[in-house]
Amino acid sequence: MAKIKGLIFDLDGIITDTAEYHYLGWKQLAEEEGMEFDRDFNEKFRGVSRLECLDLLLEKNNREITFEKRKRMAERKNNYYNEYLKTIDRNNLLDGIFDILQRSKRAGYKMAIASASKNTKTVIEKLDIGDMFNAISDGYSVKKTKPAPDLFLHTAKKLNLKPEECVVFEDAKAGIDAALAANMTAVGIGPESRVGHADYRFDSVKDIDLTKILEF
Ligand code: BG6
Ligand code: MG
């Protein structure tokens, strides 16, 4: 096995819990449009791009709309989401993540963010953690979204590392699929039913035991 030299972190659900704000944004749009939507269905949106989430919502509600209307709806949801983003700061880091970032940085690992979100830069700025990372990839970086390996492969290249030298931390099924497809070590955060196929799994970020994954 290759020596691990880089750590790649998903953003939403690993660094910070923005899933609730995404949920509230989608809920407002769904209510205004008279569409059915609940927390359970929101779980399907983990790691999935904005337009693909909207398509899932439209499909659930048997709605067919024009491309233009679809674009406007996605934009509206994003505006609602951005209102919530205005309220976040360092206190919104998930329990235990700052310690993990600091320890790995001190240990000399290269570090990156790889998120499907087009709001990645805003979120990182609000959390004030940009200086921890050597590379940041987001929803603009590649065409093919998770579960395709493209975003992680693009990120490894930016870090100047081979895929097998990278570990990915992910909370989404699509994210674990993408990491494994990229030939990287996958660490899943969440229930067995969602990320059980990862190389390592922990219930939550604060349960991550780096010594099990890396040579400290
Ligand atoms: C992912 C989230 O990180 O980003 C998804 O897990 C979200 O729920 C996706 O849909 C896209 O986010 P954004 O900010 O581009 O709408
Ligand atoms: Mg995520």
Range of the domain at 69: 19-85
pTM above 0.75, yes or no: yes
Rg (CA), the chain: 17
Amino acid type, 115: S
Considering only CA atoms, which residue is closest to atom 1 of ligand 1?
47
Q: State whether 127 and 187 are in the same domain.
A: yes
Per-residue pLDDT band for 2 (boundaries 50, 70, 90) equals: confident
- Which CATH number belongs to the domain containing residue 116 in this structure? 3.40.50.1000
Q: Which of 12, 138, 150, 177 is catalytic?
A: 12
Question: Looking at ligand 1, which residue's alpha carbon is closest to its atom 12?
Answer: 117
Can 203 be counted among the known catalytic residues? no
List pLDDT tens digits, range 146-161.
999 999 999 999 999 9
Residue 10 is a catalytic residue: yes
Half-sphere exposure of 69 (CA within 13 A, CB side): 8
CA 216 to ligand 2 center in whole angstroms: 26
Q: Mark whether 67 and 171 lie in a shared domain.
A: no
More confident residue, 215 or 135: 135
CB count, 10 Å around CB of 164? 15
User: Among residues 31, 56, 85, which one ends one of the domains?
Assistant: 85
